[in-house]
Every structure is written in C-alpha cells, then in structure tokens.
C-alpha cells in the first residue's frame, strides 16, 4: 500500500495485520478503540497515510489533517457522546509522551473531565 511503513504498528492496524476494534473508517482515516483506555470512551483516529507526528505534517497534508478532524463528529456519534461532549488530544514528542509514531488523535469522553488536564 502506498504511503505506508512496513513495521509501523498503526500502519499494520490499517492493513489489518494486527487486530483492532475498528469502529469507523473511510478512505482517509481509521478509528479504533485504544487498547488501554483512559476514560469510558477512548478511540484513536489515525490517517491511513503514515505521518509520524504533528510536527511532520506538510502543507500537502492539509486535506488529511482536515479529514482527521472531520472524523471526530462521526466517531463521537457512534460512541454516543456527541451531545455530552468529548476531548480530542494529540501527543507530539517526548514531553507529551508520544509513544506511537504515526499521528493519532485520542478521542476521549463518557465522563466529566477537568481542565487543565494535568495535576
Ligand atoms: P501516545 O502515547 O499518544 O503515542 O498514544 C499511543 C496510544 O496507542 C496509547 O494510548 C496506547 O494505549 C495505544 N495503543 C498502543 N498499541 C495499541 C494497539 N495495538 N491497539 C490499540 N491501541 C494501542
């Protein structure tokens, strides 16, 4: 598949080589349940195309960036939290504790959250 990396965990989920609880997909993005949820609802939305982090997004990726954001409403509706609210978080780099280097937004909800998000 074009624009994929052989050994990237999330590229492998896109290709169906590693099982995941996929709840939504279209030609641009895939959304699946986080394996270690931090809230009652926790889904990762990733681009089909491999891009390692927000910092690597290029001007030509504008449409993909938009598709990731556009998917949040559809995913929130599937999760039943569109009306109650949710948070969409990207971890980028070491301080944010990014651990998988294929862009992913964490869509989390299903409970009241606080702000700021750190103690
Ligand atoms: P981050 O720390 O922002 O890079 O988040 C990576 C996320 O990927 C974590 O929340 C992990 O729980 C999640 N994760 C890692 N492996 C898998 C997997 N095989 N399926 C679903 N989620 C995963």
- Tens digit of pLDDT for each residue in 66-102? 999 999 999 999 999 999 999 999 999 999 999 999 9
- Residue from 56, 99, 107 whose mutation best tests the ligand 1 pocket (most atoms within 8 A of CB): 99
Q: Which helix (H) or strand (E) holds 73?
A: helix 62-79
Structural domain 9-109, CATH architecture? 2-Layer Sandwich (3.30)
Give the integer Cα–Cα distance in Å for 61 and 91: 18
Q: How confident is the model at residue 118 (pLDDT cuts 50, 70, 90)?
A: confident
Q: What is the pLDDT of residue 103?
A: 98
- Tens digit of pLDDT for each residue in 40-74? 999 999 999 999 999 999 999 999 999 999 999 99
Q: Is 98 in the pocket of ligand 1 (CB under 6 A)?
A: yes
For the stretch 45-55, what's the b/e string if a residue is b when 16 or more beta carbons lie within 10 angstroms of its beta carbon?
bbbbbbbebee
């Amino acid at each position: 598949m074009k624009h994929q990396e052989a050994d990237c965990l999330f590229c492998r989920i896109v290709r169906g080589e590693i099982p995941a609880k996929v709840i939504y997909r279209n030609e641009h993005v895939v959304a699946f349940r986080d394996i270690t949820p931090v809230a009652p609802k926790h889904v990762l939305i990733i681009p089909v195309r491999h891009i390692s982090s927000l910092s690597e997004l290029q001007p030509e990726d504008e449409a993909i960036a938009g598709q990731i954001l556009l998917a949040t409403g559809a995913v929130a509706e599937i999760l039943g939290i569109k009306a109650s609210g949710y948070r969409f978080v990207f971890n980028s780099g070491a301080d944010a504790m990014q651990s998988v280097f294929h862009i992913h937004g964490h869509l989390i909800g299903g409970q009241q959250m606080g702000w700021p998000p750190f103690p």
